[in-house]
Chain A
Amino acid sequence: MISSTMRRASAAAAGGAALALALTACAGDDLGGGGDGGGGGEADADCAAFEQYGTFDGETVSISSTISDQEADQLEESWADFIACTGITIEHNGTNEFESQIFVQVEGGNAPDLAIFPQPGLIQRMVEGDHLVPAGDAAMEQAGANYTEDWLTYGNIDGEQYGIPIMGSVKSFVWYSPSTFEENGYEVPETWDDMMALTDTIVADHGSDSVKPWCFGIESGGATGWPATDFLEDSVLREAGPDVYDQWVDHEIPFDDPQILASLQRVGDILQNPDYVNGGIGDPRSIAATAWADAGLQVLEDNCFMFRAASFFEAQMPEGTDVGPDGDIFAFYLPADSADEQPLLVAGDNVAAFNDNEATQAVAAYLASAEWANSRVSIGGVVSPNQGVDPANASSDVLRLTLELMQDDSAVVRFDGSDLMPSSVGAGTFWSEMTKWIDGQVDAEQALTAIEDSWPQG
């Protein structure tokens, strides 16, 4: 309760102020989604920020995405003043079945104007089908000003920019309990070796049949296995480096390259060691059958001390959990071999357009802008890789930390590799072979070889 109230309060303070100003200043009569701002005067100084997008008379832009429920409401709130000032109505349609629905829509000749893609691989498939148009000039201008080269790569298909990253998460986090760490005098580790030394210390101090240093789970229904792919990707990025990571994702080196094998074995040193896992649940094999978030919640029970998961694990906390640097649970950056390098594994949503109507392009440009990113981040729950976002707008400590890591110039950033690979690998054999490996059906080498063999030809 505490954290969610705080989150709402800070969101209201930061976002609400701007929103209220905009609404009272320039809300038209019923421009849809404008809420009850009322009041209404003529065009005003507050709409000046939106002048560059032009004004439209009753045009509608439709957006499809995976974003639903509360998050969808927050999304709609984030562009309320934009639609009030420009006259564009944005129809947002979020569905949990987006990944398959978008193909049905597009191939049925019923494409939305814009779509927010969670996986760059989907953009690739859309471009191959000739459905998307490249980002327009206004959107490109915003993108160039607000995003790093690394982030723009993922929406860039064959040298043409289609997708622009608008929201993101950092995956390279280890969740821990600051209060428990403090009681035991443990320090947040800064290198991988420190982390393994801490692991051994925890085994010596607390190790028992039920309390272990780590917990982990990869069960996720039809997507079982994905958390293990993230761990391997993080490990490759740290041990083999970003260049090898790129070659691996692009299949320029075989999936079972010795460097990848070494990284998987490094992950196995943690996940397959019965002394290290699986706190509060069972032996290493239990990882395969435990829901990923359930495993992480063992940190709150002090059954385990560390849990590697993305920034969005915050949303899985039971109500009333105190998330923060002095609270019940918080996250530290998953260390690399040296404290100087901080490679970052990220994921995020890219917006791409299906047509180059003026209104569509205006919305795309707005979503790529720092104004929108700040508006969305202040409402809470997400962060954006947009470099123009003020970390002070983040709605929680974890999101602030995420933003700071994202905006660190020296950070090497790489997108979640399984999202970039062909989907029969990235959402197929990569998931299933990692599950078999954790379940003990195959060893690391057999798992990687099986994935390599499944890579689609040509």
Chain B
Amino acid sequence: MGFFLYSKNGQLILAILAFAAVMAVLLLVARLADRAKGRRTVGVMVAVFAGPALLLLVLGQIYPAVRTLWMSVMDKRSEAFVGLDNYAYLWENPAGIIAIRNTLLWVVLVPLLSTAIGLVYAVLVDKSRLEKVAKSLLFLPMAISFVGAGIIWKFVYEYRGAAQDQIGLLNALITWLGFEPVRFLQDAPMNTVFLILVLVWIEAGFAMVVLSAAIKAVPNDIIEAARLDGVSGWQMFWRITVPSIRPSLVVVLTTISIATLKIFDITRTMTGAEFNTQVLANEMYEWSFTFGDNGIGSAMAVVIFLLVIPLVAYNVRQMTKNKAVRG
């Protein structure tokens, strides 16, 4: 086993073998399930196809969630019960309050801005000649990791003193126009907004793609009827397009909110969470893994979890509604 565990090629071969084995078992079970006849078929099918997923869900999501909840009321080595002390830290510590404040700012601004930009863009390029190219352009940042995006934008925001040559794109423009260079990443609270713009840059493409599809699904007869009634472009947008794609809008907004609550890579690469840019997820990571305090780290994870739940619930409800509309 030594060879498999320690060498990279060995691990690769092992991974491929494991994958093949799992697939073989699944196919075999599926074939056996095929043989089940009559009423039992549905039950067997559910067990075969949903069973592994359920099992993984319990192992990978539910068990860790329960354990995190448990660890959040224990001390840092998860040995003694400390009650709600870990949660109290969040409220009593100035850094914790800044993290909560910033996280709220992220969760409000990112979904609104990226959805708004994505929507307007989708409407503007809809049925235009260069639609495909234009959409690809906005969608491209989706392909970049958050860390990569953070590094790219760090160069864009780079600051040098007024007497120096500017090496950051934005400050080069600003000084060229005759203004003083701006410390984009250093001056709170605007620095958080500049970090937020990076995620907007990434997520706007996602919003645009989903909303564009929704816009195309708006029935033509409604649009034609509106045209016959002589609506302006503005009215068409607000009275026809937006109400027709409302369920998709909600899904996009909530999906981006959920992604935003987890954001920590951008903060970490661009400011290291300094200059009052701390966010909950980054603080959770630091407490759990850098400082080795399972208690406070878990408490933060639980807070993020609680914040996500209503969003997920709403999101799921809208998705089922969407399905109901489409039949």
- Could you list 20 examples of A-B contacts with CB < 8 Å? A62-B6, A89-B2, A91-B6, A125-B292, A129-B77, A209-B161, A221-B269, A223-B272, A225-B274, A278-B161, A282-B159, A286-B160, A286-B161, A289-B186, A422-B291, A427-B291, A428-B290, A432-B95, A436-B274, A439-B274
A288 within 8 A of B: yes
Instruction: Report whether B274 and A435 are in contact in the complex, using a CB–CB cutoff of 8 Å.
Output: yes
Instruction: Report whether A286 and B159 are in contact in the complex, using a CB–CB cutoff of 8 Å.
Output: yes
Chain A, residue nearest B161 (CB): A282
Instruction: Report whether B291 and A222 are in contact in the complex, using a CB–CB cutoff of 8 Å.
Output: no
What residues of B have a CB within 8 angstroms of the CB of A281 in the complex?
160-161, 164
A224 within 8 A of B: yes
What residues of B have a CB within 8 angstroms of the CB of A428 in the complex?
286, 290-291
Interface residue tally for chain B (C-beta within 8 Å): 27
Q: State which residues 214-236 of B face A: CB under 8 Å.
A: none
A93-B6, A221-B269, A222-B272 known; A285-B292 Cβ under 8 A:
no
Instruction: Report whether A285 and B183 are in contact in the complex, using a CB–CB cutoff of 8 Å.
Output: yes
B203 within 8 A of A: no
Instruction: Report whether B272 and A224 are in contact in the complex, using a CB–CB cutoff of 8 Å.
Output: yes
What residues of B have a CB within 8 angstroms of the CB of A435 in the complex?
272, 274-275
Q: State which residues 82-107 of A face B: CB under 8 Å.
A: 89, 91, 93, 99-100, 103
Contact bitstring B163-201, A, C-beta under 8 A = 1, else 0 = 110000000000000000001011000000000000000
Chain B, residue nearest A434 (CB): B274
B237 within 8 A of A: no
A346 CA to B186 CA, complexed, in Å? 31
A335 CA to B185 CA, complexed, in Å? 34
Instruction: Report whether A224 and B292 are in contact in the complex, using a CB–CB cutoff of 8 Å.
Output: no
Instruction: Report whether B161 and A224 are in contact in the complex, using a CB–CB cutoff of 8 Å.
Output: no
A265 within 8 A of B: no
Q: A282-B164, A428-B286 are in contact. List 9 more A-B contacts (CB 8 A).
A: A60-B2, A210-B163, A224-B272, A281-B164, A288-B186, A424-B291, A424-B293, A427-B290, A432-B274
Q: How far is the CB of A234 from chain B (nearest CB, A)?
A: 22
What residues of A have a CB within 8 angstroms of the CB of B271 in the complex?
224
A10 within 8 A of B: no
Instruction: Report whether A288 and B274 are in contact in the complex, using a CB–CB cutoff of 8 Å.
Output: yes
Instruction: Report whether B290 and A289 are in contact in the complex, using a CB–CB cutoff of 8 Å.
Output: no
Q: How far is the CB of B27 from chain A (nearest CB, A)?
A: 31
Q: How far is the CB of A352 from chain B (nearest CB, A)?
A: 17
What residues of B have a CB within 8 angstroms of the CB of A180 in the complex?
none
Instruction: Report whether B274 and A103 are in contact in the complex, using a CB–CB cutoff of 8 Å.
Output: no
What residues of B have a CB within 8 angstroms of the CB of A239 in the complex?
none
A210-B164, A289-B159, A428-B286 known; A423-B274 Cβ under 8 A:
no
Instruction: Report whether B272 and A220 are in contact in the complex, using a CB–CB cutoff of 8 Å.
Output: yes
- Hey, which bits of chain A sit against chain B, CB under 8 A? 60, 62, 89, 91, 93, 99-100, 103, 125, 128-129, 208-210, 219-225, 278, 280-283, 285-286, 288-289, 422-424, 427-428, 432, 435-436, 439, 441
What residues of B have a CB within 8 angstroms of the CB of A222 in the complex?
268, 272-273, 286, 290
Instruction: Report whether A285 and B268 are in contact in the complex, using a CB–CB cutoff of 8 Å.
Output: no
Instruction: Report whether B161 and A288 are in contact in the complex, using a CB–CB cutoff of 8 Å.
Output: no
A210-B164, A289-B159 known; A103-B186 Cβ under 8 A:
no
Contact bitstring B69-85, A, C-beta under 8 A = 1, else 0 = 00000000100000000
Instruction: Report whether B160 and A99 are in contact in the complex, using a CB–CB cutoff of 8 Å.
Output: no
A62 CA to B6 CA, complexed, in Å? 9
What residues of A have a CB within 8 angstroms of the CB of B162 in the complex?
209, 282
Q: How far is the CB of A224 from chain B (nearest CB, A)?
A: 3
- The residue that B292 contacts in the complex, of A103, A210, A282, with Cβ under 8 A, is A103
What residues of B have a CB within 8 angstroms of the CB of A125 in the complex?
292
A89 CA to B287 CA, complexed, in Å? 37
What residues of B have a CB within 8 angstroms of the CB of A224 in the complex?
271-272, 274
What residues of B have a CB within 8 angstroms of the CB of A62 in the complex?
6
Q: How far is the CB of B84 from chain A (nearest CB, A)?
A: 17
A91 CA to B11 CA, complexed, in Å? 14
The 3 closest A-B pairs by CB, nearest first: A282-B161, A209-B163, A224-B272
B314 within 8 A of A: no
Chain B, residue nearest A278 (CB): B161
A91-B2, A282-B159, A286-B160 known; A439-B268 Cβ under 8 A:
no
